[in-house]
């Protein structure tokens, strides 16, 4: 049974790779095709960036937005050239991989608290309020605790409807990672994960599903990727960060969160940043690839194209595209580190970048 699966996976890989490397055999002019899969959170950025890169003479990249988990699986089965994930791989997940895997941060995304309250557009929330609302302990909008954090705001006597992601998602992971850091109650009751055991509210599928449900339901509140709230013009709450400042979700306040020190392998969660200007619910999103790209019949051309693509993605030009679709650009230290890591990517032991 297991052997048969391996043969099947190998066959699929071979087909994919032979498509990918097709360019080299058919002639130098023909472009290389790469396949990639993973997170939907940065997909608007990747789609646009890959299209621009292809137009500028880069490889054709087929990116499948199948979720971070699916991307990790595809990389483990060696059926893609690279994958994308919102949650970095744990040590256990890294150990399960058939080869050494490198994380390259590509941009910073933020999770915002979007809500639908007629006439209210400047709601302020503290970590304690987030805990109370999302755990179902604060049930009315005019709860004294909410009023205390929002002096001067008139809030209606309306039931709060919490909207969460019904599907497993990196967005949930980032939000719960932040909540677990700021609330011991949350950490004990729900913890951190891509899907949680929600005690209250209703679930909707995908960022668009949550955004749609919030914009259609008065009295609702939920967490979504910044770009979705921005695109649908749904009001977003200012969230109190670790320095006690209420921070408006904006690209500058997201970038501020990443200014801290980076570990060598870039595996770090930047939620609840200590920077007084930082919005607290932010995260890097990563491209993951093998350190040595000579696997499952990968050609040198495909390997070179892979490294070039990822290097371009972390460069100035692509980072400008990221901000145009509402992701914060990588801070200087992260960009430098990404470039260093990419120099270590090899093909049969030979480095691909100078």
Partner 1 sequence: MSGDRVTKALLFISSLTILLLSAGIVVSLFGGAVPAFREFGLRFITSSSWNPTAGSEQYGAMSFIAGTVITSILALIICIPMAFSTSLFIAEYYRGTRTAGILRSLVDLLAGIPSIVYGFWGFYALRPLLVATGLTDQGFGVFTASLVLAIMIVPYATSLSAEIISMVPAELKEAAYSLGATRREVIFSVVIPSARSGIIASFILALGRALGETMAVTMLIGNANVIPKGLFAPGNTMASVIANQFGEASGLKMSALIAIGLLLFLITALVNYLGKLIIKRFA
> Which listed residue (33, 150, 192, 273) binds partner 1 by CB under 8 A?
192
Residue closer to partner 1, measured from CB, 90 or 121: 90
> Which listed residue (43, 74, 126, 169) binds partner 1 by CB under 8 A?
169
Residue closer to partner 1, measured from CB, 54 or 166: 166
Return the residues of window 28-67 that contact partner 1 according to CB under 8 A.
66-67
Does residue 69 bind partner 1 (CB under 8 A)? yes
Does residue 283 bind partner 1 (CB under 8 A)? no
∠ CA 182-285-203 to the nearest 5 degrees? Answer: 60
Mark 242-254 as b/e (b = at least 16 C-beta within 10 Å).
Answer: beebbbebbbebb
Task: Tell how strand 220-225 and strand 101-116 pair up.
Answer: antiparallel
- CB atoms inside a 10 Å sphere around CB 118: 8
Residue closer to partner 1, measured from CB, 158 or 339: 158
> Which listed residue (167, 230, 246, 335) binds partner 1 by CB under 8 A?
167
CB of 209 to partner 1, least distance (A): 8
Does residue 202 bind partner 1 (CB under 8 A)? yes
Tell me, residue by residue from 205 to 244, as one string, x for binding to partner 1 by CB under 8 A and - for no binding: x---x--xx--xx-xx------------------------
Does residue 184 bind partner 1 (CB under 8 A)? no
Cα end-to-end distance, the chain, whole Å: 44
Tokens of 258: 């990443």
CA distance 48 to 263: 29
CB of 215 to partner 1, least distance (A): 11
Torsion of CA 248, 250, 253, 257, to 10 degrees: 110
> Which listed residue (161, 183, 271, 275) binds partner 1 by CB under 8 A?
161
Does residue 156 bind partner 1 (CB under 8 A)? no
Residue 139's SS3 state is coil
CA distance 341 to 333: 12
> Which listed residue (196, 224, 229, 318) binds partner 1 by CB under 8 A?
196
Does residue 190 bind partner 1 (CB under 8 A)? yes
Place of tokens 């145009």: 324
Does residue 195 bind partner 1 (CB under 8 A)? yes
Residue 161's SS3 state is strand
> What angle do helix axes 300-313 and 316-324 make, rounded to 10 degrees?
60
CB of 194 to partner 1, least distance (A): 5
> Which listed residue (68, 150, 253, 308) binds partner 1 by CB under 8 A?
68
27 sits in the region (left: phi over 0; alpha: psi -120 to 50; else beta) called left
Element (DSSP H or E) covering residue 163: strand 161-165
CA distance 20 to 54: 14
Tell me, residue by residue from 109 to 148, as one string, x for binding to partner 1 by CB under 8 A and - for no binding: ----------------------------------------
Report the Cα 52 to chain-centroid distance in Å. Answer: 21
Q: Give how many residues touch partner 1 by CB under 8 A.
A: 34
Cα 79 to Cα 34, 89, 287, 305, 308, distances in angstroms: 11, 18, 15, 16, 19
Residue closer to partner 1, measured from CB, 199 or 344: 199
CB of 149 to partner 1, least distance (A): 24
Tokens of 282: 């932010």
Residues at the interface with partner 1 (CB under 8 A): 1, 66-70, 73, 159, 161, 166-169, 190-198, 201-205, 209, 212-213, 216-217, 219-220
């Amino acid at each position: 049974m297991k052997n048969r699966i391996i043969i099947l996976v190998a066959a699929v890989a071979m087909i994919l790779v032979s498509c990918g490397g097709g360019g080299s055999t058919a002639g130098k002019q023909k472009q290389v095709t790469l396949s990639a899969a993973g997170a939907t959170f940065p997909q608007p950025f990747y789609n646009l960036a890959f299209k621009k890169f292809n137009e500028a003479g880069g490889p054709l990249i087929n990116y499948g937005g199948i979720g971070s988990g699916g991307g990790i699986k595809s990389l483990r089965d060696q059926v893609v050239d690279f994958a994308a994930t919102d949650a970095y791989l744990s040590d256990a997940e890294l150990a399960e991989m058939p080869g050494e895997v490198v994380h390259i941060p590509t941009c910073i995304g933020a999770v915002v608290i979007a809500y639908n309250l007629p006439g209210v557009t400047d709601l302020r929330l503290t970590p304690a309020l987030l805990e109370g609302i999302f755990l179902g302990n604060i049930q009315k909008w005019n709860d004294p605790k909410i009023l205390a954090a929002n002096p001067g705001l008139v809030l209606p006597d309306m039931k709060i409807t919490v909207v969460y992601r019904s599907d497993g998602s990196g967005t949930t992971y980032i939000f719960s990672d932040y909540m677990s850091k700021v609330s011991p109650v949350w950490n004990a009751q729900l913890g951190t994960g891509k899907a949680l055991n929600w005690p209250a509210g209703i679930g909707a599928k995908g960022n668009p599903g949550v955004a749609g449900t919030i914009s259609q339901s008065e009295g609702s509140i939920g967490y979504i990727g910044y770009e979705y709230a921005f695109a649908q013009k749904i009001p977003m709450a200012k969230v109190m960060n670790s320095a006690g400042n209420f921070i408006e979700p904006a690209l500058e306040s997201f970038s501020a969160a990443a200014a801290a020190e980076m570990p060598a392998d870039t595996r770090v969660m930047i939620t609840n940043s200590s920077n007084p200007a930082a919005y607290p619910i932010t995260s890097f999103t990563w491209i993951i690839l093998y350190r040595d790209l000579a696997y499952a019949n990968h050609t040198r051309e495909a390997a070179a194209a892979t490294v070039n693509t990822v290097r371009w993605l972390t460069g100035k030009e692509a980072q400008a595209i990221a901000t145009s679709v509402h992701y914060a650009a990588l801070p200087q230290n992260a960009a430098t580190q990404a470039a260093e890591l990419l120099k270590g990517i090899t093909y049969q032991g030979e480095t691909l970048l100078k």
